[in-house]
Structure 1
Amino acid sequence: MWKPDRGSDKPLYAQIADDLARRISSGEFPPGTRLPSERSLAELLGVNRSTVVLAFGELRAAGIVESRTGSGTRVSRGGWGAAPKQTPNWSRYAEDGGFLPNLPLMRRIREALSRHPSLIDFASGELSADLAPAAEIAALLREQDDIAYLGYDNPQGHMPLREALASYLARYRGIRTTASSVLITSGSQQSLFLIAQCLLAPGDAVAVEDPSYCRSLPMFQSAGLRVFRLPVDEHGTRPGDIRALRKKHRVKMVFLNPNYQNPTGTVLGAERRKELLEAASGLGLPIVEDDPFSLTAFGERPPDPLKAMDADGSVLYIGSFSKIAASGLRIGWMVAPNAIVERLADARQQMDFGLSVIPQRIVARFLESPYFRPHLERLRTELQFKRDLLIDALRKELPDQVEFAVPRGGLHLWCRLRHAVQDGKLLDEAIRRGTVFVPGSVYGSAPGYVRFTYARPRAEDIGPGVAAFAEALRAMEHGPGGP
């Protein structure tokens, strides 16, 4: 009896749909044949009933089967592909679109969290609810009594927010800019999307850190870009590597996350920053600086961004409210030359006519309110506490199995496993034991690395979550029958 392959990157429901379609096409199930019930087929294949429901839905969308209340699911009587009226093959449309889906491991993580909300979540790169300024935002919402207009706003972003951000960037990040050079986006990811789609062309070469969050984004491949790696060591990216890639591959743009880099947590060294900016200026090479984590620095002054040192206009600077306050507000920003801001604002207007004015107003007020600085101080304290809980738990549960450098800021801990294991199988083992993480291969690294986000789980769940991961790792190392 055929069974779906749980080790495959293809979702179980899609495997089941493909197998049934093959058997129908071969005549094993002629037109009008009633298929097994969802429950019985789920038991036969050893999967959840919801998985079979999804598989049948795929077959219905393709016009291969039809379902009626009280009659079950049957092979279409008109003959697959021969009926005068057919349902569009939506599965084929979904597969053939030019915009690539998320990586298989990321889809597996998202599906697991959706189906099992009780999983201890070391995977989601966002703050837990207790770290968000919920009470402060609620107070600001209660003060929103002067909203006179709820129509479309400026596609570049709400002017009071752009002015507040210019003041914020000068005060906290040492960046001198004006409201006209700020573009409001729905977050760093939309900023990256706009850059990839509007400032680059298919076939262009770009350089990204290795490992890097950017390597988890299929949007670069969807845009037809050629992506080249910049290795990251304990001091960040080496400027010489950028020069070499520019010479060999004519790289047109460099994407960097210099402060508390995602996923490694490294900080680009001071000398390398100077040399990198000199190289960019000499080559006329734009740098996209993603800086979401700097204000989470633990017990130290946040490192200056490259943009604060940029005397030649080489750096496009992007940031986000998600990592320092609340991802649900969906507010990010970009600092760029006016020509770039206008180009991207025009493109974004074609996408959505601009962001909602209400969250923009809230963020503008929060940045200028007496709530903001105390929130940052509390956030840093709580993140450092959670980081230390995670480190203590790893040292207790896996003293000889993992290696890591202690990050001085950010939300993530990057770990190397002493013995490499298969990423997908380790993830499945961890999910079965009640926890989830991000395998390092998602970020372009070799097998044997994992990223834990300590900002997401509750403090009381960090120890049990690490214990569950340790059980999964030991099961992988010892194989069937091991402890």
Structure 2
Amino acid sequence: MNWRPDRASKKAIYKQIAEYIESCISSGAFPPDSMLPSERTLAAELNVNRSTVVAAYEELQALGIVERKKGSGTRVSSSIWGISRKRIPNWGRYVEDGSFLPNLPLVQRIRSEALRTDFVNLASGELAPSLFPSEDFQRILAGMPFNEHLGYDHPHGNERLRDAIAAHVHEYRKISTDANSILITSGAQQALHLIVQCLLKPGDAVAIEDPSYSYSLPLFQSAGLRTFLLPVDKNGANPDDLVELHKKHRIRMVFLNPYYQNPTGIVLSEARRKRFLELSSEYGIPLIEDDPYSLTAFDGNVHQTLKSMDENGNVLYISSLSKIVASGLRIGWIVGPEQVIQRLADAKQQIDFGHSIFPQWIAYQFLDSPTFSSHIEKLRQELKKQEYALSSSLNELLGSKVSFDSPQGGIHLWCKVNQPVDDYRLLEESLKRGVAFVPGSVLSSQSGAIRFTFGRGEEEVIREGIKRFASALESLE
């Protein structure tokens, strides 16, 4: 055997061995029902530990490629080719080798566990059912015309909805735009995906906030991008850090969540907003402004957006109805230069041939209705109550064990644990007690912090969740 594992590779040696043996089986070098070298023999030949070969053989056994019997060795499965001599695809290998990376196993587990009915879900970034404007939507659905054309709509999205969004962002965010500069997306998540896939190439350097929601997204790594961090303090990300990063890495794009940021709840200061725009113009770096929360300001004071201050077309503005109406609508949008919108619209057409007309029609009706503003007022009042339920419970039940700044909008609170703690053990103990949250290490380069989301729970449910969390933290002391 002339082959040797590549010890410089990031892939585990046992996986390299398993893949090599599988290729030998596929080529016929090891035919069905033939014996493979013993663990000791192969280990000596490849100069690896016997346990490494054991792991490789176990991997092949799990895939159904080999059969192992104690005392008899490892044999190529006799039924590997089946009656018609056709092999079953190695789906496990395909799942591992795909270029689009999966979410972290921890994130997947939080989402699955939090679906249990007995759980207090302080992890999911959505609104409570009680905050949904159900009466308004019942009225809209009752008046829904059935003579609407149900064919493919405009590549940018329904024109009436884009007109309504143009009016909406002008009234609430002071952004001047028109329907031609807007693309309807399946929430903000698809907007980010389209921007990364269409406007950047593998090897490009991008800057993201730390902590941030972007930090948790595998889409940057899937696209082969190099991510660099902008630490967030009480005034948000510091533009001076961008200067240093650009000198070293030639940053191609900056992703910012300026208002009631996920997860910190911080607002990027006006001075820093202006400075980011200056640097964007100086270096020619696009700014991606992700703004799902600005309308949730508890005091009704909506901060001036980067896009409204953008005089040169350097900002791509992303927002959605997910955090102010309902996540299930899947209505988001991008505002930007027409040539960019055209490029992104073409990509969206390739993916899904455009957005479904039904949620677009409902969103248009709601944005264009006089009840939208009253809904936003109610939303602010209820979120303020839910945030108070969370922060007061943390103070009452945990006191000096944690520290945090109460956000003045949004749906997230960033809480630091004032003692050394293992994020994963704390989450494990919390899940046992029926409460879910997002550990800080999922959203940040540092551990020891927690993102609690107060948008999804009623006040008493939130208090119960923090009671369970306090019990989990106490069990680790």
For the aligned pair, the TM-score class normalised by the smaller chain equals 0.7 to 0.9
Distance 1:435 1:60, change over 3 A: farther
1:63, CA displacement in angstroms? 4.3
- The answer to whether 1:175 aligns with 2:182 is no
Give the distance between the partners of 1:138 and 1:185, measured in 2 at CA.
Answer: 24
Cα displacement string for residues 231-276 of structure 1 (whole angstroms, at most 9, x for unaligned residues)? 1100011111111111110000000011111100111111111111
Greater mean alpha carbon deviation, residues 374-383 or residues 455-464 = 455-464
Aligned to 2:399, the other structure's residue is in SS state coil
1:111, CA displacement in angstroms? 2.2
Q: Read off the aligned partner of 1:344 and give its amino acid letter.
A: L
Distance 1:59 1:128, change over 3 A: farther
Residues 63, 86 of structure 1: 8 Å contact kept: no
Give the distance between the partners of 1:197 and 1:81, measured in 2 at CA.
Answer: 39
Residues 215, 443 of structure 1: 8 Å contact kept: yes
Aligned to 2:108, the other structure's residue is in SS state helix
Give the distance between the partners of 1:79 and 1:243, measured in 2 at CA.
Answer: 62
- The answer to whether 1:79 aligns with 2:91 is no
Greater mean alpha carbon deviation, residues 239-248 or residues 184-193 = 239-248
Matches within 5 A, 1:96-115: 96-114=97-115
| Equivalent residue, structure 2, for 1:289 | 289
| Equivalent residue, structure 2, for 1:46 | none
Residues 61, 89 of structure 1: 8 Å contact kept: no
Cα displacement string for residues 147-170 of structure 1 (whole angstroms, at most 9, x for unaligned residues)? 321111112100000000000010
Q: Read off the aligned partner of 1:182 and give its amino acid letter.
A: I
Give the distance between the partners of 1:136 and 1:147, measured in 2 at CA.
Answer: 21
| Equivalent residue, structure 2, for 1:386 | 386
Give the distance between the partners of 1:147 and 1:250, measured in 2 at CA.
Answer: 53
Cα displacement string for residues 31-75 of structure 1 (whole angstroms, at most 9, x for unaligned residues)? 9xxxxxxxxxxxxxxxxxxxxxxxxxx999944699xxxxxxxxx
Matches within 5 A, 1:62-77: 62-63=63-64
1:103, CA displacement in angstroms? 1.3
| Equivalent residue, structure 1, for 2:44 | none
Residues 63, 87 of structure 1: 8 Å contact kept: no
Cα displacement string for residues 16-42 of structure 1 (whole angstroms, at most 9, x for unaligned residues)? xx9xxxxxxxxxxxx9xxxxxxxxxxx
| Equivalent residue, structure 2, for 1:90 | 91
Distance 1:397 1:197, change over 3 A: same
Stretches of structure 2 lacking an aligned partner (at least 5 in a row) = 1-17, 19-32, 34-58, 68-74
Residues 63, 80 of structure 1: 8 Å contact kept: no
| Equivalent residue, structure 2, for 1:342 | 342
Q: Read off the aligned partner of 1:93 and give its amino acid letter.
A: Y
Q: Read off the aligned partner of 1:294 and give its amino acid letter.
A: S
Residues 65, 77 of structure 2: 8 Å contact kept: no
1:81, CA displacement in angstroms? 3.8
Aligned to 2:450, the other structure's residue is in SS state strand
Cα displacement string for residues 89-118 of structure 1 (whole angstroms, at most 9, x for unaligned residues)? 21111111000000122011022124x232
Aligned length: 413
Distance 1:122 1:146, change over 3 A: same
Greater mean alpha carbon deviation, residues 386-395 or residues 267-276 = 267-276
Give the distance between the partners of 1:344 and 1:220, measured in 2 at CA.
Answer: 17
Give the distance between the partners of 1:359 and 1:272, measured in 2 at CA.
Answer: 36
Give the distance between the partners of 1:288 and 1:325, measured in 2 at CA.
Answer: 23
1:420, CA displacement in angstroms? 2.8
Residues 435, 465 of structure 1: 8 Å contact kept: yes
Distance 1:396 1:93, change over 3 A: same
Matches within 5 A, 1:346-385: 346-385=346-385
Distance 1:184 1:65, change over 3 A: farther
- The answer to whether 1:187 aligns with 2:187 is yes
| Equivalent residue, structure 2, for 1:280 | 280
Cα displacement string for residues 101-143 of structure 1 (whole angstroms, at most 9, x for unaligned residues)? 00122011022124x2321000000001111112211210111
1:412, CA displacement in angstroms? 0.4
Residues 169, 175 of structure 1: 8 Å contact kept: yes
Q: Read off the aligned partner of 2:393 and give its amino acid letter.
A: A
| Equivalent residue, structure 2, for 1:73 | none
Aligned to 2:196, the other structure's residue is in SS state helix
Aligned to 1:451, the other structure's residue is in SS state strand
Distance 1:59 1:368, change over 3 A: farther
Give the distance between the partners of 2:77 and 2:60, measured in 1 at CA.
Answer: 15
Residues 114, 120 of structure 2: 8 Å contact kept: no
Greater mean alpha carbon deviation, residues 402-411 or residues 144-153 = 144-153
Give the distance between the partners of 1:94 and 1:275, measured in 2 at CA.
Answer: 44
Give the distance between the partners of 2:444 and 2:432, measured in 1 at CA.
Answer: 25
Give the distance between the partners of 1:245 and 1:78, measured in 2 at CA.
Answer: 54
Give the distance between the partners of 1:437 and 1:411, measured in 2 at CA.
Answer: 13
Cα displacement string for residues 377-427 of structure 1 (whole angstroms, at most 9, x for unaligned residues)? 110000000000011111111001110011010000000000131111111
Matches within 5 A, 1:111-150: 111-114=112-115, 116-150=116-150
Matches within 5 A, 1:180-329: 180-329=180-329
Q: Read off the aligned partner of 1:79 and give its amino acid letter.
A: S
Stretches of structure 1 lacking an aligned partner (at least 5 in a row) = 1-17, 19-30, 32-57, 67-75, 478-483
Matches within 5 A, 1:404-419: 404-419=404-419
Q: CA RMSD in A?
A: 2.1
Q: Read off the aligned partner of 1:99 and give its amino acid letter.
A: F
| Equivalent residue, structure 2, for 1:460 | 460
Aligned to 1:135, the other structure's residue is in SS state helix
1:300, CA displacement in angstroms? 4.0
Distance 1:77 1:207, change over 3 A: closer
| Equivalent residue, structure 1, for 2:395 | 395
Distance 1:426 1:59, change over 3 A: farther
Residues 63, 89 of structure 1: 8 Å contact kept: no
Q: Read off the aligned partner of 2:171 and give its amino acid letter.
A: R
1:463, CA displacement in angstroms? 1.1
Give the distance between the partners of 1:148 and 1:329, measured in 2 at CA.
Answer: 19
1:364, CA displacement in angstroms? 0.6
Aligned to 1:165, the other structure's residue is in SS state helix
Q: Read off the aligned partner of 2:111 and give its amino acid letter.
A: R
Cα displacement string for residues 287-308 of structure 1 (whole angstroms, at most 9, x for unaligned residues)? 0000000000011411111001
Give the distance between the partners of 2:61 and 2:378, measured in 1 at CA.
Answer: 52
Aligned to 1:180, the other structure's residue is in SS state helix
Residues 205, 252 of structure 1: 8 Å contact kept: yes
| Equivalent residue, structure 2, for 1:44 | none
Distance 1:104 1:80, change over 3 A: farther
Give the distance between the partners of 1:221 and 1:366, measured in 2 at CA.
Answer: 37
Distance 1:463 1:65, change over 3 A: farther
Give the distance between the partners of 1:423 and 1:332, measured in 2 at CA.
Answer: 33
Question: Normalization by structure 2: what TM-score?
Answer: 0.83
Distance 1:391 1:226, change over 3 A: same
Residues 153, 357 of structure 2: 8 Å contact kept: yes
**Percent of pairs with identical residues:** 52
